[in-house]
Structure 1
């Protein structure tokens, strides 16, 4: 025998499609049961009203034939008929031509008890009457068997209806469990197919249902993405391959030129600059190639953060040559992390370069601890208008100086070298390595960038 599916209310999640199907079935069952209960109650009320009305009218006719004209007729069981002028005032205020029902308290041999009083107004030959019938009085089958049978069957029908409602709700719960699984099974198959590198996705694309349409759309999108990624990888590989040869030639030529101009310190500075730039470009190409590969396919050797920071400060120190800016590296000890050194060099180098470029006076502090690298400067800072575009490609800060004149305000923009790709590349490296990059504006001016590498 197949066990019934379990239902854990604590784990019920309304956002789940399966649970939405289950809830909709249950709500539908409740609405359906409420509809049938309402119909039953209405039919039962109308039947009882008609039976009571017929019984009381019959008793009025019998009483008139037997007793003549009286102000009050009493008949067993529980029937009392008032001439309108002799009826209680509360009945006069409530009675209409429709049979009504009200709750009353009656005294019996066993004490006071609550029951229902049925009553209605009736006019015969110009004379008005109020006819009443008190429930829960033993009916004699000979008096009015139809009403007696109805009173007996009323409770049976009510109990049967309660059982039917409970069974309907239970059936709705069980049916919703099985049907929701069958309805959502194609979606779960589609999810598994997407998670398994699309090997089984083609098996679902032929389906004529909505799942098949969705599978075909995903399959087409995946193919377009694969083609795009393949083109990007080929482009990166081709560019790196084509640039390495001229860079090697430039580096070789600069070394030869440096050896021939060793006696001329002024020209030797330019040859060193050419060689250094060529080497940096080669390292950038290597880093970009690493970014084009999947993170899980990269090896991550233990790399010294301190040495990388020191080397980058020395490499970029020429940017501070004509500025009154100091740079300090603060680290209690030497810290290491598992990362490709090319990627760490590019990320940290871009942050230090930006700090050097946009700081004209003050200091740049690089702080290293066990979980983050912080680069703080006293430079221009980043205006609020640029914050949404902080890591966008080709967005860059313009260094603006404003001179006041007695007649006009003169303003010009002194653009710092760069392409606006630095922070974008840093953010891409962070995402690639699963690290985090944050920015915070300093209260005294400048910016603080933090790399969380743990």
Structure 2
């Protein structure tokens, strides 16, 4: 696609095009005027002189002619001129450029010759002046166009800079201006204020809800641990108590992650986190989802991999990707590969239709045709939010053998 011109370039180009049109029209009119003057005035003068010459009685002394005009009659006319038809001619006579009028009257032929060397020189000077004036007009238009464009664009550039710096609604320039820039600035100010209020309400809501949930979850977690300790001699009940403890711990972890997402990422310094243990822990948590399925769950882990991220956020991303693979794979294998800067989760499940792939990271979108009561469809949308929050990237691919492959890319952890 051909790139569009910037507003500054468009204004400058408009000035130049306008100068070309106006200066070109003026030069064309001037050139045509010079040609008409040359033809009409000189020819009229030659005709007047010819009338004067014809009215003079034959045989008498020739009338006096102006310095640049010569009168010729009959045999005095050179042979090459006598062969020309009656009328006006422009030709070279020796080394001189002349304009010739031939006229027949009675039995005589009359010729009026005017030298036009000086006139042609004047005409060339006029044409050169027109050309110089045309070029100068274009250059002047270009300079004026650039200067005017800078002045006209300056308020827009200042407004764009303020918006880019996330300036407050009252800090935007040109708010009091009554022109179009003022209207645009006030519209930006209103929109910025509305967005700030919305973000503030969302952050407060998320923070408040997460904070209020932490206390009951802590109580549930403590109670589950006490219950597990008391049921050490009852394996069946102990498994239930352990499951309650694990779910409470996971929920508390998710609440902590939501609290982190409610904060501005640039205000946080994420710690250096080893991802190996998080991957292994999340794979262990997903094992119950594969009970009774002929699925091989493998991990390719060659070295210690770390990233600058909070463990809670990394657990949300990795856990959701692994659970998604386990839930949608009925047979075959699920392979997890963790290397420096990348996590790959690949399965041999049924894959995803194209219409689902295009909206997979939206809220309430399932990867299959399950009814709405079987999951809220928020998992991958939360993953996408965390990935964007951490400035990571997540790609969905389709292996040649079928199934689904998620590729999570992240910058390696700094050792500072």
Q: Secondary structure at the match of 1:444?
A: coil
How far, CA to CA, are the matches of 1:370 and 1:31 in structure 2?
63
Which residue number corresponds to residue 58 of structure 1? 48
How far, CA to CA, are the matches of 2:394 and 2:111 in structure 1?
86
Structure 2 residue 250 is the aligned partner of structure 1 residue 280: yes
Which residue number corresponds to residue 61 of structure 2? none
1:212 and 1:116, CA in 2 relative to 1: closer, same or farther beyond 3 A?
Answer: farther
Structure 2 residue 164 is the aligned partner of structure 1 residue 164: no
Which residue number corresponds to residue 208 of structure 2? 238
Structure 2 residue 154 is the aligned partner of structure 1 residue 154: no
Which residue number corresponds to residue 10 of structure 1? none
1:77 and 1:332, CA in 2 relative to 1: closer, same or farther beyond 3 A?
Answer: farther
Deviations 1:283-328 (A, max 9, x none): 1111111112111222221111211110100111111112111111
Q: Secondary structure at the match of 1:316?
A: helix
Counterpart contact for 1:398–1:416, Cα < 8 Å:
no
Shift of 1:346: 0.6
Which residue number corresponds to residue 432 of structure 1? 389
Structure 2 residue 4 is the aligned partner of structure 1 residue 47: no
1:276 and 1:194, CA in 2 relative to 1: closer, same or farther beyond 3 A?
Answer: same
How far, CA to CA, are the matches of 1:273 and 1:279 in structure 2?
10
How far, CA to CA, are the matches of 1:258 and 1:306 in structure 2?
28
Shift of 1:279: 1.0
How far, CA to CA, are the matches of 1:37 and 1:366 in structure 2?
77
Shift of 1:119: 8.8
Shift of 1:150: 5.0
Counterpart contact for 1:398–1:414, Cα < 8 Å:
no
Aligned residues: 391
How far, CA to CA, are the matches of 2:328 and 2:171 in structure 1?
52
1:203 and 1:190, CA in 2 relative to 1: closer, same or farther beyond 3 A?
Answer: closer
Counterpart contact for 1:357–1:416, Cα < 8 Å:
no
Which residue number corresponds to residue 220 of structure 1? 190
Shift of 1:259: 3.1
Which of residues 358, 368, 375 is equivalent to 1:418?
A: 375
Q: Secondary structure at the match of 1:393?
A: coil
How far, CA to CA, are the matches of 1:228 and 1:249 in structure 2?
33
Counterpart contact for 1:201–1:215, Cα < 8 Å:
no
Which residue number corresponds to residue 138 of structure 1? 115
Which residue number corresponds to residue 157 of structure 2? 188
